[in-house]
Chains A and B, each alone.
Chain A
Amino acid sequence: MRTLELAIDFEPIRGAMPAHHAVAGAGQLRELCDQARSKGARLVALWGSDETSRSEGYALHLALALPSGLLWLTVPLASDHPRYPDIADIYPGANRMQRATADLLGIRPDGNADQRKWLRHGAWPEDAFPLRKNFDAARRFDPGPDRYPFVKVEGEGVHEIPVGPVHAGTIEPGHFRFSIVGEKILKLEERLGYKHKGIEKLFEAMTLEEGAKLAGRVSGDTTVAYAWAYAMAVEGATGTEPPPRALALRGILLELERIANHLGDLGYLGNDVALSFGFFQFWRLKEDLLRLNAQLFGHRYLMDAIVPGGIAADISAPRAELLLERLEKIQREVLALKSIYDEHAGAQDRFIMTGQVLPALAERMGLTGFAGRASGIAHDLRIDYPVPPYQQLGPRMASHTRGDVAARVSVRFDETLESMRLVRALVQQLPPGEVRAPLAPAKPGARGVGWIEGWRGEILVALETAEANRIHRLHPHDPSWQNWPLLERAVMGNIVPDFPLINKSFNLSYSGQDL
C-alpha cells in the first residue's frame, strides 16, 4: 500500500477497504483540505460527534477519498467553543453537511460560511442539539416557527414557483423553489430535511447486531449497499473476516440492486418524455427481477440479506443456474429496448443537451456516482480500490463526457449490462463454504469504515464503537448529499417541464440525506 499523500501522522483503520485515520487541529484544517484537493482528493463526507462523555469536547470528522484510500480526519473541538474554519469554498459539497452538523450538534463553521439551518425546520428549537449525548431522544417539542430565507431572484418578469414538500407524483418530500422567466428556469433552490427521522440518534441506542436492520433502511432503494457498508464497518471494527462465499454473494446482491434501480429509472425516463412504452417494458423487466429476488433471497429488494459477518441467505447450485437463465432473458430484452431508445428521435430530442453538467463544474462541485461518470468524473470504488469480490472480475467503467440526460441514460444502460456480466462471473466462480462468520466482540473506541459503490454512488458508513458492543457514533453517508446541489445547476436555463426528466435522470435520495 502506498503511503498517505498528505503530510500528517496517520494510522491504518482495519477493514476490507484501504482506510486511514488521522487527527488534526482546527488550525490545520484548511491547509490540509487545500493539500488534499491539490492531490485530487474528493470529499466523501463531513459529520460531527459529541465526545464530552470521554471529557474531550466535540469533534468534526471528514472523509476524503485519496488515491491510497479513504482518509478519516478527526478535528477535536473545545466543548465551550466548538468552532472550526469553513471549508465550503474548498469543497463546495461541504456546505449542507456543515449546516446539518450545526443543527444536530451545535458545531459551527467560522468565516463566511452559510449559517442557515438545513435539517432542523421547526421540530426542535435552535438551542437543542439532538446528537449531543445529553439530549434525550424521546424528548418532544411543540412545533416551532419555521422561517427559511430563500435566495430571491429579482428582475422584470421573474416569478417564483414553490413546489412541495408534497409533490405531484409518487416522490419523496422536499421543497423546490424555482425562479423563472416565462418557461425558463433562472434558478432552483432546494430545501430538504423533511424526512429527518433521527436515524443517527437511533443508532446510538443500538448494539452492532441491531444496527444492521436500520442501516438497510436509511434509503430503501439502496438497502444492499447500506447493509454491506454497515457490515464492512462492523467487521473492520471487530476484526471479523466474512467468508469468501459471503463476499461473492454480496457482490451478486449489490449488482442485482444496481440492475433493478437502473431498469426502473430507464422506464421512468421513457415515461417522462411521453414514451410510456418504455415505462411498461422496463417495469415488466424490473418486476420479473424483483420476483426472482424474492424467490432466491427471500425479499424483493434484498433487505436484511447482508448481515455483519456474512449473509443471511445462501443460494443452491440449481437456484444459481435459475438466476443466470433469467438474467440472460432480461439482458436480451434490455438490448432490444436500448436500440429502440437509441433510435427514437422524439426521446433522444428530449434527452440530448437537457440538464447538462459539464465535467469542469462536476469536478469543482464534487459530482459523484453514475451521474459523475456521465460528466467525465472517472471514479468507481469497484475499480479504484479493487478488493474482493471485485478484485478478479475487472469491472469496466461506464463513462461519458456530455453530462446531459442522454449521457446519464447511456451510463445507466452500460452499467446495467456490465452488472449482468459481473453477476454471471460471480455465480460461475462462487466459492464453496460457509456464508457467515461469528462476530468477534468489539473493543470500545474501535473504528470501522464501510465504503461501497452503490447504484447511485459511493455509500460510506463511519463507525466508532462504545462499551458493550454498542455504537458510540455512526454516520451513514449518501452520495445524494454531493449530487443534490448539482441538480440545482443542471436545471439552469432549461424549461420547467424538463425538470421532472432531469430530476429522474439523477434520481437522488431524500431519505438518505435527511437521515
Chain B
Amino acid sequence: MYHLLKQIAKIGIVTEPAPHPDAALRAVEQRLGEAILKHFGRSLAIRHVDAGSCNGCELEIHAMNGPHYNLERIGIKFVASPRHADMLLVTGPVSRNMEVALKRTWEATPDPKLVVAIGDCGCTGGIFGESYASCGRVSNVIPVDVAVPGCPPAPTAIMQGILTAISSGERR
C-alpha cells in the first residue's frame, strides 16, 4: 500500500485542458435548444457502438478515458446501455451484419439524442467503402450530428467532436 500511495503522489495530476468545440465538424445544424444543451454540457452519458471498425478508433476512445484526457472530469461518462445514453458514439463503416443492431441501439436511446460518427470510416466509409458487406458511413444507417475524421482521430479530436455536438455553434 505504501508503494501504491507513493506512486500516486509521485505522478500527481497529468490531465490536460479540454479542447474547444469546432463547428466545422457539424454534419447538421444544432437541433437541440439551449435549455437542453445546458444540461448536456454538465452531464452527458455516452453509449459507444462499434458498428464494424478495425478497432483503431476504439483504442483512442479508451485513451480518452485515460489520465491525460480524463473525460469524466468534464461531466462526460460512458454508460452500459443505450437506454441510459444521451449520445451514441459510433465507429466503423457500418457492416451489414451490424446494421440491425445499430438501428436497434439508436431506437433504444431516448430522445433527445445525439449521434457522433468517429473516424474516416464513420465519416465516409473509409477504405472499406460500400459493398455486399458494408453499408459505408454511419449516416447511411442512422442520422448523424457530428462527424470526426481521422484514422484514427486522436483523443483530443474525438473530445472536440463530442463537445461540438453539445455546443450551440452553427454549421460553417
Contact of A171 with B50 in the complex, beta carbons under 8 Å: yes
8 contacts across the A-B interface (CB closer than 8 A): A123-B132, A172-B50, A173-B101, A197-B134, A198-B134, A220-B152, A287-B66, A343-B3
Given contacts A202-B131, A277-B8, contact A171 B58 (CB under 8 A): yes
CB-contacts of A127-170 with B (<8 A) = 130, 135-141, 143, 165-166, 168-170
Is B4 in contact with chain A by the CB < 8 A criterion? yes
Q: How far is the CA of A84 from the CA of B144 in the complex (A)?
A: 47
Interface residue ranges, B against A (CB under 8 Å): 3-4, 7-8, 11, 14, 48-63, 65-68, 78, 80-82, 92-93, 95-101, 105, 127-134, 151-152, 154
Given contacts A171-B50, A195-B95, A281-B11, contact A139 B68 (CB under 8 A): no
Contact of A280 with B48 in the complex, beta carbons under 8 Å: no
Task: Flag A269-288 by CB within 8 Å of B: 1 or 0 each.
Answer: 00000000101110110110
The chain A residue sitting closest to B151, CB to CB, is A303
Contacts A123-B133, A514-B97 known; list 4 others, CB within 8 Å: A168-B80, A197-B128, A220-B57, A301-B59
Total A-B residue contacts, Cβ distance less than 8 Å: 168
Q: Cβ of B58: which chain A residues have Cβ within 8 Å of it? A: 170-172, 220
From A166, A169, A264, A300, residue with most partner B Cβ within 10 Å: A166
Q: How far is the CA of A171 from the CA of B55 in the complex (A)?
A: 8
Contact of A123 with B53 in the complex, beta carbons under 8 Å: no
Q: A165 touches which one: B3, B80, B101, B131 (CB < 8 A)?
A: B101
Given contacts A138-B130, A277-B8, contact A170 B61 (CB under 8 A): yes
The chain B residue sitting closest to A119, CB to CB, is B97
Q: B63 touches which one: A138, A173, A194, A287 (CB < 8 A)?
A: A287
Given contacts A123-B97, A195-B52, contact A140 B132 (CB under 8 A): yes
Q: Cβ of A221: which chain B residues have Cβ within 8 Å of it? A: 55-56, 59
Q: Cβ of A283: which chain B residues have Cβ within 8 Å of it? A: 62-63, 65-67
Given contacts A130-B133, A343-B3, contact A509 B49 (CB under 8 A): no
Is A121 in contact with chain B by the CB < 8 A criterion? yes
Task: Flag A333-353 by CB within 8 Å of B: 1 or 0 each.
Answer: 000110110011000000000
Given contacts A220-B55, A287-B68, contact A281 B7 (CB under 8 A): yes
Q: Cβ of B128: which chain A residues have Cβ within 8 Å of it? A: 197-199, 202
Q: How far is the CA of A235 from the CA of B51 in the complex (A)?
A: 34
The chain B residue sitting closest to A343, CB to CB, is B3
Q: B105 touches which one: A135, A166, A214 (CB < 8 A)?
A: A166
Given contacts A138-B130, A198-B128, A280-B67, contact A143 B50 (CB under 8 A): no
Given contacts A290-B63, A336-B3, A340-B7, contact A172 B134 (CB under 8 A): no
From B11, B14, B55, residue with most partner A Cβ within 10 Å: B55
Shortest CB–CB separation between residue B105 and chain A, in angstroms? 5
Q: How far is the CA of A461 from the CA of B100 in the complex (A)?
A: 32
Is A223 in contact with chain B by the CB < 8 A criterion? yes
Contact of A217 with B3 in the complex, beta carbons under 8 Å: no
Is A402 in contact with chain B by the CB < 8 A criterion? no
Shortest CB–CB separation between residue A261 and chain B, in angstroms? 9
Is A213 in contact with chain B by the CB < 8 A criterion? yes
Task: Flag A98-140 by CB within 8 Å of B: 1 or 0 each.
Answer: 0000000000000000000000011110000010000111111
Q: How far is the CA of A198 from the CA of B127 in the complex (A)?
A: 11
Shortest CB–CB separation between residue A465 and chain B, in angstroms? 21
The chain A residue sitting closest to B133, CB to CB, is A198
Given contacts A195-B97, A281-B7, contact A201 B52 (CB under 8 A): no
The chain B residue sitting closest to A510, CB to CB, is B55
Contact of A172 with B7 in the complex, beta carbons under 8 Å: no
Is A218 in contact with chain B by the CB < 8 A criterion? yes
Given contacts A166-B49, A219-B55, contact A196 B133 (CB under 8 A): yes
Given contacts A123-B97, A214-B127, A343-B3, contact A264 B62 (CB under 8 A): yes
Contact of B132 with A198 in the complex, beta carbons under 8 Å: yes
Q: How far is the CA of A343 from the CA of B66 in the complex (A)?
A: 24
Is A372 in contact with chain B by the CB < 8 A criterion? no
Contact of A138 with B101 in the complex, beta carbons under 8 Å: no
Q: B67 touches which one: A130, A166, A284 (CB < 8 A)?
A: A284
Q: Cβ of B101: which chain A residues have Cβ within 8 Å of it? A: 165-166, 173, 194
Contact of A213 with B68 in the complex, beta carbons under 8 Å: no
Q: Cβ of A139: which chain B residues have Cβ within 8 Å of it? A: 132
Q: Cβ of A280: which chain B residues have Cβ within 8 Å of it? A: 66-67
Q: How far is the CA of A508 from the CA of B129 in the complex (A)?
A: 25
Q: A511 touches which one: B4, B54, B133 (CB < 8 A)?
A: B54
Given contacts A214-B127, A217-B127, contact A197 B95 (CB under 8 A): yes
Q: Cβ of A137: which chain B residues have Cβ within 8 Å of it? A: 131-132
Contact of A143 with B96 in the complex, beta carbons under 8 Å: yes
Q: A170 touches which one: B3, B4, B7, B48 (CB < 8 A)?
A: B48
Contact of B78 with A284 in the complex, beta carbons under 8 Å: no
Q: How far is the CA of A195 from the CA of B81 in the complex (A)?
A: 20
